[in-house]
Chains A and B, each alone.
Chain A
Amino acid sequence: MPLLNMTVNGRPVSVEVAGDEFLAHVLRYTLGLTGTKIGCEEAECGACTVLVNGQPVDSCIFPALKAQGAEVLTIEGLAQNGELHPLQRAFVEYGAVQCGFCTPGFIMTAKALLDRSPQPTEEEIKSALKDTYCRCGCYLEIIDAIKVASGQSPTLTCSDGRLPRSPKALRVVGNPVPRPDAVAKVTGQAKYTDDYAFPNMLYGATLRAAYPHARIKHIDTSRARALPGVHAVLTHEDIPGDKHHGLIFNDWPVLCYDKVRYVGDAVAIVAAETPQLARQALELIEVEYEPLPVVTDPEQALAPDAPKVHQQGNLLKHIKVRKGDVAQGFAEADVIVEAEYRTPMYEHAFLEPECSIARVAEDGKIEVIVGSQIPYEDRRQIAKSLGVPEEQVRVKGAFVGGGFGGKEDIAAQIHAALLATATGRPVKVLYSRQESLRVHPKRHATVIRVKVGAKRDGRLVAVQVHILGDAGAYASLSDKVMTRAATHAAGPYEVPHVKVDCYTVYTNNPPAGAFRGFGVTQSAFAVESTMDILAHRLGMDPVELRRRNALRTGSTTSTGQVLRESVGLLECLDKVAAHIRRELRVEPDGAWWRPFPNPADPARVRAWGLAACYKNTGLGGGAPDRGGAEVEVLPDGRAVVRTAAAEIGQGLPAVLAIVVAEELGIPYQHVEVALPNTDVTPDGGPTTASRQTYINGNAARMAARRVRDILAWAACEELGASQDELEFREGFVHARGKRLPLGEVARLAREGGRQPLARAVFEAPPTAPLGREGDMHVGFSFGVQAVLVEVDTRTGEVVVLKAVSAHDIGRAINVLGLLGQIRGGIIMGIGNALTEEYPVEGGLPYCTTLSRYKMPSIRHTPEIVSYLVEDELSSGPYGAKGVGEIASIPTAAAVANAVYHAVGVRIHKTPVDQDWLLRTLKAKSA
């Protein structure tokens, strides 16, 4: 093999490389510089950016031998003598890091920019970062960080130059503190699953279905097994336990046996000495198929003579929401509006593709390292298929490069464990971006018909909704997702008569599952578009129509839940409406929705549009919802929080550290948050349903208080004070003019026979299933967003220039993370509205590469103004509710409503098709 001589981070390096090896591989796998990430191998995402002779390049497709004699700089070479580079410091401080997978690429791209242009303008920054993607959507924070690092003023700060804090801020709670893992992420030290390696490790690969729907007649693996370097080739016959997995319905074959039902189905798995050999072995596996007719869409699937995807039929579930009598409601209505909407499948496009590493550990247990959203659920499903008790399996978390719901289902966890047990060696199964696009569940494509009846004064009297959701080949979380779509389908309004029928249906398309917003994203688009149609039909201000019907304390939801507290919707509406009116200088009763031209180019027309929404916090629907956390105070006075609640970028470690620091009275920096490990960390439940701050924020708070009680017991005697005289602050226990360091108190507790450690499980108040009496959810967050769009009437292009949001999140704990979630959610919502779609035809996805799926870039990022409404929920930690999903739910409808206000064309289908829009405009003016 040829020798590659180069300088990496100032050190000469000489390594053997293969002729077809790319630089990112050499850096990561030969040199162990895993700070450089691989997100796509298509030069699309920019996560792999390194500097070669000072120039940023995508190292994932940069031939290694091209770096012969070059100077290469990676993220690991940026900090000097332990001192962070100004860019790294600013990224940490200004919240420009969430999941962190894109962070090294951004910092390296920004470094090259600053080397050329020490004080770049905002336009230069956007131009430089145009093709570097952050799926968490920290673009505005990144711009700020680059400004700060280059000595300019940030823009997301308040007039006093400081980052915003909550008016209800406590000592730590409500203050803008950096993430505890931010430094590890900006230096490239944070380890994601693929960054781990074990001696003797093998590499797995998966044979995928050749057809979207076919009977498997025969599988012959003999030629693959015979290939030297191949250590295992497994099929369904080699699964000792359950041959299926599934989060609710156990319907998804670990390895297919009778049929394949979509193109991402796994048929066989291989472990070999190298990833190349493993892939080569796949080509030697012979599968004889009998292609079957393909069920391509839910309408077709429900036809009586449709081919069956599963034996029990294609209707997975019919979900009904009933309140009052819609027939009576419509009879009372003065105005009735009906409309139909379509939303496509969307792809999560988390920048870190799925990866699992399994090995038989020194203690004999099967250990799986995986960045998933539900570590304990992974453990259950792995054990079930291996046919071993759950305690025999240990799932260890790693840093997770984004999830958004797409890492809830099993990916390669079971496959890796099967291969590791079969070979007795560690096995890594890493999906390529292209495999990831093909395999994991998407957002449900829907067809939604809405019928709304109202009185002349705007009062809603009846809402009837029909939803058809494409579940794809397997159930995944379809039942719950579509239930959420249905229960929220009448919008955040009090409506006396509601009837929703939601059908979720099997097809041979990729499965649909959890995706930020969880069904509500789709139904909110439909109902909020319809609310605007109704407002204009009634000649009413869309804000006023919503105000009149908005849920408030004492209201009853569509499922019959009486809201007793924490309903900040009206305040959200008022804040956003006031902002738009201020900006447009219109009177409180003035028409803020009128279009106006871009002053420099009148053919580009602008207008505001608005939408409201609500979203449950927590699982609800009768599901037991609990999470556990453990807090320990170490001898040096620092504290550790342990929970298997997955952090996927949303900021949970900051929430946990803030809560513990607040309760123990120690500096925030003194709290460490451990990664999940099912042997050590208590079950935190799934990272889903915007629940982690609420559930595990509570659990950590309870555990911290228990530890504090233990410490108080130990400190009393030493300080000669009673418990209520003690004060925990600044890392000391104070009483009677004396103080003891917390570490010392922890030691005293140990000596006294009590460990300064406590576990707590927070159990959410019970909820009732849909259709039964009682509260379906513990609480709801509320959100209102308005966007200013500009439509180019010559091209049909739509741009969001500005977004204003107000969210009632109960209480702001982790302000930096909270605002990051909101801004990122809005940007993802803009993706839903304008850039993203995952079309499937005949069961074949169009987006076989990331280059065919456009997520919003820094170029799509508008100015964002965010208001927070803190209407506390009594069962939440300090009153907090969830924010993860609510931030992205109303955006698409707000964009559609703004487009209507700008050019008078109603968008019934996302994303907005500029081609269609222009043709419609032309037809309208003709």
Chain B
Amino acid sequence: MGRWQHYYRPRTVQEVLEILAHYRGQARVVAGGTDLFVELLEKPPAFEALVDVTAIPELRTIYQEGDWIVVGAAVTHTEIVRSALIRQRGTALAEGCSVIGGPQVRNVATLGGNVVNALPAADGTVALLALDGEGQVARANGSAWHPLLDLFRGPGQSAVDPTRELLTALRFRATGPREASAFGRVMRPQGVALPILVAAATVRLNGAGTHIEEARVSLGPVAPTPFRAQRAEAVLRGAPPDAAVFRQAAEVTLQACSPRTSRYRATREYRVEMIRTLLPRVLETAVARARGETWASPRFEVADKYSSFGCWLGG
């Protein structure tokens, strides 16, 4: 239809790189396309060909390798949510992926796409960050793993150039005994379905459960790229897992990041308030899970269920 001429579905990473090389910047990688095709409604494409990476078998697998759980970049959100391995050992990622769109979108949208789209509040990406995620990028001269944060340049700007290289996999450290993760977000009912705030955390408790041994905390959008709250982590490390500490974690996070007012979405004040509200809740849930107490989701449930529906009584 004139937007792009060719649509390729290669079977290997090598083929992808060859096609990209052949087009010299006039072709780009696409996975689920749920973001790209919508963007193109308002912005005409600047390429001749799309290279769909979702038919490459190695990009479609989830497996464990030592301490790492590896998720192919073209694994869909649905597959992540259904993976028992990820639900148990990377719970925040399964939660983050479960809230994106409806099943139609989750069935095609990929984690790799979420990362390369590089939005500071991307649910899956922020969750992955709290799990100490890394991304593997394949280029003409080889393939290498990078810390997740190194893959972002700015809002919507990825360090992965989709016309020359491709993200092939993501991995994160599987949570172990006395360790768990959690994810939460706050939405606005009007306008675009981008979160006002997402937060994720992983915590590991000591044997007695009295102190936090290790913590990783991530948030978005509070900076141009997904944000790792290192000051909060420092506060949490070695501290007792209680409400006062969680509150303090939120306060030091506020000092370190800069949530903005964005038109039609949220004011800075509201986002600040949400960091104070959401972060402690996510930490609380992660700690409860690390203790084996609950698998409850920190998501704010939409509505309680009523047992009986009314019937028209007439007259």
- Tell me the A residues contacting B by CB distance below 8 Å: 2, 18-22, 41-43, 46, 49, 55-58, 61-63, 65-66, 68, 109, 112-113, 122-123, 128-132, 140, 155-159, 164-167, 274-276, 280, 432, 434, 579, 598, 600, 790, 792, 794-797, 799, 801-802, 804, 819, 834-837, 839, 846, 848-849, 851-854, 859-860, 862-870, 911, 913-915, 918-919, 922
Please determine whether B189 and A915 come into contact, CB atoms closer than 8 angstroms: no
In the complex, the chain B residue whose C-beta lies closest to that of A854 is B190
Task: Kindly list chain A residues whose C-beta atoms are within 8 Å of the C-beta of B193.
Answer: 851, 854
Name which of B16-24, B34-42, B57-65, B165-173 contacts chain A: B34-42
In the complex, the chain B residue whose C-beta lies closest to that of A162 is B311
In the complex, the chain A residue whose C-beta lies closest to that of B302 is A859
How far apart are the CA atoms of A802 and B273 in the complex, in Å?
28
Q: Tell whether B269 is near chain A: CB-to-CB under 8 Å.
A: yes
Please determine whether A914 and B310 come into contact, CB atoms closer than 8 angstroms: no
Task: Kindly list chain B residues whose C-beta atoms are within 8 Å of the C-beta of A837.
Answer: 190-191
* Complex partner residue of A835 from B105, B190, B192, B313, CB under 8 angstroms: B190
Please determine whether A66 and B309 come into contact, CB atoms closer than 8 angstroms: no
| Residue from A43, A56, A65, A122 whose CB has the most chain B CB atoms within 10 Å | A43
Please determine whether A46 and B102 come into contact, CB atoms closer than 8 angstroms: yes
Q: Known contacts A20-B2, A132-B104, A801-B304; is A864 also within 8 Å of B267 by CB? A: no
**What are 18 A-B pairs with beta-carbon distances under 8 A?**
A43-B101, A61-B33, A63-B52, A66-B52, A132-B102, A158-B311, A598-B304, A795-B186, A804-B310, A837-B191, A846-B191, A846-B264, A853-B191, A914-B188, A915-B188, A915-B266, A915-B267, A918-B270
Question: What's the nearest-Cβ distance from chain B to residue A154, in Å?
Answer: 9
Task: Kindly list chain B residues whose C-beta atoms are within 8 Å of the C-beta of A863.
Answer: 306, 309-310
Question: What's the nearest-Cβ distance from chain B to residue A831, in Å?
Answer: 9
| Residue from B107, B192, B310, B312 whose CB has the most chain A CB atoms within 10 Å | B312
How far apart are the CA atoms of A797 and B266 in the complex, in Å?
13
Task: Kindly list chain B residues whose C-beta atoms are within 8 Å of the C-beta of A68.
Answer: 9
Task: Kindly list chain A residues whose C-beta atoms are within 8 Å of the C-beta of B2.
Answer: 20, 276, 280
Q: Known contacts A43-B105, A65-B9, A922-B273; is A167 also within 8 Å of B306 by CB? A: no
Q: Tell whether B3 is near chain A: CB-to-CB under 8 Å.
A: yes
Task: Kindly list chain B residues whose C-beta atoms are within 8 Å of the C-beta of A792.
Answer: 300
The 0/1 profile, CB within 8 Å of A marked 1, for residues 270-293 of chain B is 100110010000000000000000
In the complex, the chain A residue whose C-beta lies closest to that of B267 is A915
In the complex, the chain A residue whose C-beta lies closest to that of B107 is A55
Please determine whether B41 and A166 come into contact, CB atoms closer than 8 angstroms: no
Interface size on B, residues (CB 8 A): 56
Question: What's the nearest-Cβ distance from chain A to residue B228, in Å?
Answer: 24
Q: Tell whether B4 is near chain A: CB-to-CB under 8 Å.
A: yes
How would you classify the secondary structure of chain B's contact residues: helix, strand, loop or mixed? loop
Please determine whether A799 and B303 come into contact, CB atoms closer than 8 angstroms: yes
With A130-B101, A915-B266, A915-B270 known, 10 other A-B pairs at CB within 8 A are A42-B41, A112-B103, A128-B102, A275-B1, A797-B300, A834-B189, A854-B190, A868-B312, A911-B189, A915-B188
Please determine whether A167 and B315 come into contact, CB atoms closer than 8 angstroms: yes
Please determine whether B3 and A20 come into contact, CB atoms closer than 8 angstroms: yes
- Tell me the B residues contacting A by CB distance below 8 Å: 1-7, 9, 33-34, 37-38, 41-42, 49-50, 52, 54, 78, 101-105, 107-108, 186, 188-193, 196, 264, 266-267, 269-270, 273-274, 277, 300, 302-306, 308-315
Task: Kindly list chain A residues whose C-beta atoms are within 8 Å of the C-beta of B264.
Answer: 839, 846, 852
Question: What's the nearest-Cβ distance from chain A to residue B257, in Å?
Answer: 18
How far apart are the CA atoms of A914 and B149 in the complex, in Å?
31
Task: Kindly list chain B residues whose C-beta atoms are within 8 Å of the C-beta of A280.
Answer: 2
Please determine whether A58 and B306 come into contact, CB atoms closer than 8 angstroms: no
* Complex partner residue of B309 from A56, A156, A919, CB under 8 angstroms: A156
How far apart are the CA atoms of A575 and B258 in the complex, in Å?
52
Please determine whether A164 and B277 come into contact, CB atoms closer than 8 angstroms: no
Q: Known contacts A155-B309, A866-B312, A915-B188; is A42 also within 8 Å of B269 by CB? A: no
Task: Kindly list chain A residues whose C-beta atoms are within 8 Å of the C-beta of B274.
Answer: 795
Please determine whether B312 and A131 come into contact, CB atoms closer than 8 angstroms: no
Task: Kindly list chain B residues whose C-beta atoms are within 8 Å of the C-beta of A790.
Answer: 303-304
Q: Known contacts A164-B314, A167-B315, A804-B310; is A18 also within 8 Å of B188 by CB? A: no
Please determine whether A159 and B192 come into contact, CB atoms closer than 8 angstroms: no
How far apart are the CA atoms of A41 and B41 in the complex, in Å?
8
In the complex, the chain B residue whose C-beta lies closest to that of A797 is B300
Please determine whether B101 and A851 come into contact, CB atoms closer than 8 angstroms: no
Task: Kindly list chain B residues whose C-beta atoms are within 8 Å of the C-beta of A913.
Answer: 190
Please determine whether B1 and A20 come into contact, CB atoms closer than 8 angstroms: yes
How far apart are the CA atoms of A867 and B270 in the complex, in Å?
40
How far apart are the CA atoms of A49 and B104 in the complex, in Å?
7
* Complex partner residue of A801 from B107, B192, B303, B311, CB under 8 angstroms: B303
Question: What's the nearest-Cβ distance from chain A to residue B25, in Å?
Answer: 18
Question: What's the nearest-Cβ distance from chain A to residue B6, in Å?
Answer: 5
Please determine whether B107 and A166 come into contact, CB atoms closer than 8 angstroms: no
Task: Kindly list chain A residues whose C-beta atoms are within 8 Å of the C-beta of B33.
Answer: 61-63
Question: What's the nearest-Cβ distance from chain B to residue A68, in Å?
Answer: 7
Please determine whether A123 and B309 come into contact, CB atoms closer than 8 angstroms: no
How far apart are the CA atoms of A76 and B235 in the complex, in Å?
59
Question: What's the nearest-Cβ distance from chain B to residue A610, in Å?
Answer: 16
Task: Kindly list chain B residues whose C-beta atoms are within 8 Å of the C-beta of A864.
Answer: 310
How far apart are the CA atoms of A459 and B24 in the complex, in Å?
79
Task: Kindly list chain A residues whose C-beta atoms are within 8 Å of the C-beta of B302.
Answer: 799, 859
Task: Kindly list chain A residues whose C-beta atoms are within 8 Å of the C-beta of B308.
Answer: 155
| Residue from A19, A866, A918 whose CB has the most chain B CB atoms within 10 Å | A19
How far apart are the CA atoms of A124 and B5 in the complex, in Å?
40
Please determine whether B304 and A56 come into contact, CB atoms closer than 8 angstroms: no
Question: What's the nearest-Cβ distance from chain A to residue B294, in Å?
Answer: 13
* Complex partner residue of A46 from B34, B104, B189, CB under 8 angstroms: B104
Please determine whether B312 and A164 come into contact, CB atoms closer than 8 angstroms: yes
In the complex, the chain B residue whose C-beta lies closest to that of A432 is B41
How far apart are the CA atoms of A155 and B277 in the complex, in Å?
36
* Complex partner residue of A123 from B5, B196, B305, CB under 8 angstroms: B305
Task: Kindly list chain B residues whose C-beta atoms are within 8 Å of the C-beta of A157.
Answer: 311
Please determine whether B191 and A919 come into contact, CB atoms closer than 8 angstroms: no
In the complex, the chain A residue whose C-beta lies closest to that of B101 is A131
Question: What's the nearest-Cβ distance from chain A to residue B238, in Å?
Answer: 28
| Residue from B38, B267, B308 whose CB has the most chain A CB atoms within 10 Å | B38
* Complex partner residue of A870 from B303, B305, B315, CB under 8 angstroms: B315
In the complex, the chain A residue whose C-beta lies closest to that of B309 is A155
Task: Kindly list chain B residues whose C-beta atoms are within 8 Å of the C-beta of A834.
Answer: 189
In the complex, the chain B residue whose C-beta lies closest to that of A571 is B315
How far apart are the CA atoms of A846 and B49 in the complex, in Å?
31
